[in-house]
Amino acid sequence: MSSGRETINHDPIKYWKSLVLPIIKATDILSLLIKATIAIFIAASISLIFFFAFTNQSFCFPEYQTIVRNFNNHRKVTTSHHISHQSNYEKTNISHILFGIGGSAKTWNQRRHYCELWWKPNITRGYVWLDERPPENETWPETSPSYIVSEDTSRFKYSCWYGSRSAIRIARIVKESFELGLDNVRWFVMGDDDTVFFAENLVSVLAKYDHNQMYYIGGNSESVEQDVIHSYTMAYGGGGFVISYPLAAELVRVLDGCIDRYHYFYGSDQKVQGCLTEIGVPISKELGFHQMDIRGDPYGLLAAHPLAPLVSLHHLDYVKPMFPTMTRSDSLVKLRGAYEVDPGRTLQHSFCYDLRRNWSVSVSWGYTVQLYPTLVTAKYLETALLTFQSWRTYRNEPFTFNTRPVSPDPCERPIVYFLDRVEMAEKGRTLTTYKRSKDESVKDCDRVDYAPALAIQSFNVSANQFNINLWNKAPRRQCCEIISGSDVVDGVIQLHIRGCSGFESVTPL
């Protein structure tokens, strides 16, 4: 006790500290530090949970596009990095597409009418890529896309004995298009100078896909012999193919090497697909891209169009005009007239039955109507009439879809009607009229029971304008009904196309 007092008396400050502050051991300090750390961690965790639960902000890794470089000339490429975060999630529209059209200075004036049918200046974006500058004494048409002369490709190998070195130049269009560094590009669309695109439907197709992913989209050839020779896994360039921006960024790094590796490949599309195989991206097939590798009359193919938006037509110089008594150009103008009124419904198939007369009707909207004076199944109606031959051998088979022969017996063939006019009615409804097409060289069926059908001169088809959002749902062919009643007035049958009810099916009872 005395010793303690002596210490206090000796150091008064220490005495007062002992009264105010408790004596804390080192182990107690460590325990307090641990407890404080745990408390801070729990409080921070709770704060983060509440922040993410109630904030509208999203956190993403930097997008692939923001770090892309042009590996050939070492300049930074202007990309969608410059687009606001909000606009990157904007629904895909025509401004997000850059077209690359393979052409030639010598043949552009003979083929440009195909492109000018669908090209809309100041709306569609893209270029015609030529092998050389057009003649200086010729003015480049304002109705055509602007042109760019492709880079020299003489340094590349090409050994396909039956092909053309132009395949190298055209294969590089996607690379040279990418290297232009244009803003706001989500999709690169490649096509030929005789490819007719249906741009609104192309937008509908691409809107289903995430443009931030690596996609390669297109269709095969219709002729099996072509697919066997070239590839079933290739998007054919004449029908057009689509490459998303991130995939194009990968492709441009390695394309030139692929061109030399696949020097023995025939076509540009084949070389591009070989390169995409090395990247590991397969084709996403869409049924609306039409290479049109057929000969003869395209009627059967178009009259039984698959349940998909019409996106493209190619090789139209190699088939008969789509409408009888019309030129190829006038036929396309007529089809596009219907398309402009209702893009999503163009060439879409619907079936009707008149059970009172035992008649079957097939409608390919905007193109044709077929009347069968018998009851036939939907499976039969959806199968294309074989009015054409294969691309290389001019044979009646094989194709990548089912066909049925055109019977030599006129009593077993449908009565055919072609589009006459199309118009918008009130409240977003369309009215199309189809008139009978009579081939004087073909004899009519002379059976008595066939006569009432031969008396039908035209069909009037009404429909609501097609809702393009239906392409984002499970596909289903729309239904059709005959609304003329028991009487046919002036040889005209009235039809109406509509969405099918939940439990409705087309069955010839």
Q: What is the pLDDT of residue 104?
A: 96
**371 located within any domain:** yes
> In terms of domains, do 156 and 274 share one?
yes
Q: What is the pLDDT of residue 68?
A: 29
Residues 163-216: pLDDT tens digits?
999 999 999 999 999 999 999 999 999 999 999 999 999 999 999 999 999 999
> In terms of domains, do 12 and 76 share one?
no
224: domain CATH number is: 3.90.550.50
Residue with tokens 């010598």, as numbered in its chain? 106
Q: What is the pLDDT of residue 41?
A: 57
**302 located within any domain:** no
Q: What is the pLDDT of residue 210?
A: 97
Around Cβ 455, how many Cβ atoms within 10 Å? 9
> In terms of domains, do 88 and 213 share one?
yes
> In terms of domains, do 97 and 234 share one?
yes
**331 located within any domain:** no
> In terms of domains, do 349 and 438 share one?
yes
Q: What is the pLDDT of residue 248?
A: 98
> Is the predicted pLDDT of residue 427 greater than 90, yes or no?
no
What number is the average pLDDT over the span 431-458? 89
Segment among 53-67, 74-88, 226-240, 471-485 with least mean pLDDT: 53-67
C-alpha–C-alpha distance, residues 226 and 224, integer Å: 5
Phi, psi of 178 (to 5 degrees): -60, -40
> Is the predicted pLDDT of residue 54 greater than 50, yes or no?
no
CA-atom Rg of the chain in angstroms: 34
**506 located within any domain:** no
C-alpha–C-alpha distance, residues 222 and 302, integer Å: 12
> In terms of domains, do 22 and 158 share one?
no
Q: Does residue 441 contact residue 477 with C-beta atoms inside 8 Å? A: no
What number is the average pLDDT over the span 224-240? 96
What does the DSSP assignment read for 88-136?
A: GGSPP-GGGEEEEEE--TTTHHHHHHHHHHH--TTTSEEEEEESSPPPT
Give the N- to C-terminal CA distance of the chain in Å, as an integer. 117
Q: What is the pLDDT of residue 442?
A: 76
Q: What is the pLDDT of residue 138?
A: 86
Residues 370-403: pLDDT tens digits?
999 999 999 999 999 999 999 999 999 999 999 9
> Is the predicted pLDDT of residue 129 greater than 80, yes or no?
yes
| pTM score of the predicted model | 0.82
pLDDT band of residue 42 (cuts 50, 70, 90) is low
**237 located within any domain:** yes
**224 located within any domain:** yes
Residues 246-268: pLDDT tens digits?
999 999 999 999 999 999 999 99
> In terms of domains, do 364 and 479 share one?
yes
Q: Does residue 373 contact residue 283 with C-beta atoms inside 8 Å? A: no
Domain end marker among 222, 251, 285? 285
**453 located within any domain:** yes
Instruction: List the domain range (segments joined by +) for residue 216.
Output: 65-285
> In terms of domains, do 217 and 353 share one?
no
The number of distinct structural domains making up the chain is: 3
C-alpha–C-alpha distance, residues 487 and 78, integer Å: 65
Q: What is the pLDDT of residue 505?
A: 83
> In terms of domains, do 275 and 381 share one?
no
**276 located within any domain:** yes
More confident residue, 346 or 59: 346
Residue with tokens 């669309």, as numbered in its chain? 189
Domain end marker among 266, 285, 304? 285
3-state SS assignment for residue 319? strand
> In terms of domains, do 360 and 387 share one?
yes
> In terms of domains, do 190 and 265 share one?
yes
Q: Mean pLDDT across the chain, nearest whole number?
A: 86
> In terms of domains, do 387 and 487 share one?
yes
